[in-house]
């Protein structure tokens, strides 16, 4: 999240900070009045790694749970989607879209994710490897997809967070505590989700 200068926007009062999942965490409230996008090259000057982990802790507000929106999206300079992590409130699914080496758009679909579409805090982890993709939601067991060989991401474009799939100019309303893109593909195996309220409650009862 540091690439979006959210801390500086919060200091200026442009972005409202709200309580996060614990008393030690804060989150930022993102809405239609803010356009969160940066040049992809500034976020990934060496390019997006072929293998990486995407992690985000978020909470939907308002009618966002019913919308089809991109939590994270990369576009080329012509505004064509290159890669996206999507929360589809219409189909209640998590989706990962990418371009193949033949420049075809492919989408890996993880259906039946009803538990993610409410006003509670949730964590999503996607592990993207060469030829495969796994996803964990709230640290539950992973689902798995095979991927076609991915094309390289064009750095001469923009990276967005929190935009509608069918109208990337419009941001949705939600709260974002953290977002991490890391070349460490073992991160998901070590993550415990203790920053989620439900997980803390389970641990206290064991």
Whether residue 145 has pLDDT greater than 90: yes
Whether residue 150 has pLDDT greater than 90: yes
Whether residue 46 has pLDDT greater than 70: yes
pLDDT band at 157; cut points 50, 70, 90: very high
**Per-chain mean pLDDT for the chain:** 87
The answer to whether 115 touches 137, Cβ cutoff 8 Å, is yes
Q: Would 198 be classed as within a structural domain?
A: yes
pLDDT at 205: 38
Q: Would 71 be classed as within a structural domain?
A: yes
Q: Which two tokens stand for residue 127?
A: 């592990």
Structural domain total, the chain:
1
More confident residue, 109 or 3: 109
Whether residue 15 has pLDDT greater than 80: no
Helix (H) or strand (E) holding 1: none
Q: Would 157 be classed as within a structural domain?
A: yes
Q: Which residue has the tokens 């203790």?
A: 194
Task: Measure the CA–CA gap between 135 and 112, rounded to whole angstroms.
Answer: 13
The answer to whether 169 touches 107, Cβ cutoff 8 Å, is no
pLDDT band at 198; cut points 50, 70, 90: low
Nearest to 153 by CA among 75, 86, 96: 75
User: 3-state secondary structure string, 132-145?
Assistant: EEEEEECCCCCEEE
Q: Would 25 be classed as within a structural domain?
A: no
More confident residue, 199 or 69: 69
Task: Measure the CA–CA gap between 5 and 38, rounded to whole angstroms.
Answer: 10
User: What backbone phi and psi angles, to 5 degrees, belong to 144?
Assistant: -135, 140
Q: Would 16 be classed as within a structural domain?
A: no
Of the candidate ranges 38-52, 95-109, 122-136, the one whose mean pLDDT is the lowest: 38-52
- How many other C-beta atoms can be found within 10 angstroms of the C-beta atom of residue 21? 25
Q: Would 103 be classed as within a structural domain?
A: yes
Q: Would 108 be classed as within a structural domain?
A: yes
Q: Would 19 be classed as within a structural domain?
A: no
CATH number at residue 128: 2.60.120.200
The model's pLDDT over 52-98, given as tens digits with 9 standing for 90+, comes to 999 999 999 989 999 999 999 999 999 999 999 999 999 999 999 99
Domain extent for 157: 35-56+63-167+179-205
């Amino acid at each position: 999240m540091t690439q979006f200068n959210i801390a500086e926007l919060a200091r200026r009062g442009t972005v409202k900070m709200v309580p996060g999942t614990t008393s030690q965490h804060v989150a930022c409230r993102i809405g239609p009045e803010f356009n969160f996008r940066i040049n992809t090259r500034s976020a990934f000057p060496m390019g997006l790694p072929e293998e990486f982990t995407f992690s985000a802790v978020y909470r939907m507000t308002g009618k966002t749970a019913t919308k089809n929106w991109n939590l994270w999206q990369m576009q080329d300079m012509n505004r064509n989607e290159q890669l996206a992590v999507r929360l589809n409130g219409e189909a209640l699914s998590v989706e990962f879209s990418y371009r193949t080496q033949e420049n075809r758009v492919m989408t890996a679909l993880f259906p039946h994710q009803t538990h993610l579409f409410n006003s509670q805090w949730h964590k999503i982890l996607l592990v993207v490897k060469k030829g495969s993709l796994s996803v964990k939601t709230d640290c539950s067991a992973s689902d798995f997809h095979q991927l076609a060989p991915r094309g390289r991401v064009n750095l001469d474009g923009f990276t967005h967070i929190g935009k509608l799939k069918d109208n990337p100019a419009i941001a949705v309303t939600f709260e974002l505590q953290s977002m991490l893109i890391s070349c460490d593909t073992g991160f998901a195996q070590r993550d415990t989700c203790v920053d989620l309220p439900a997980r803390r409650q389970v641990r206290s009862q064991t």
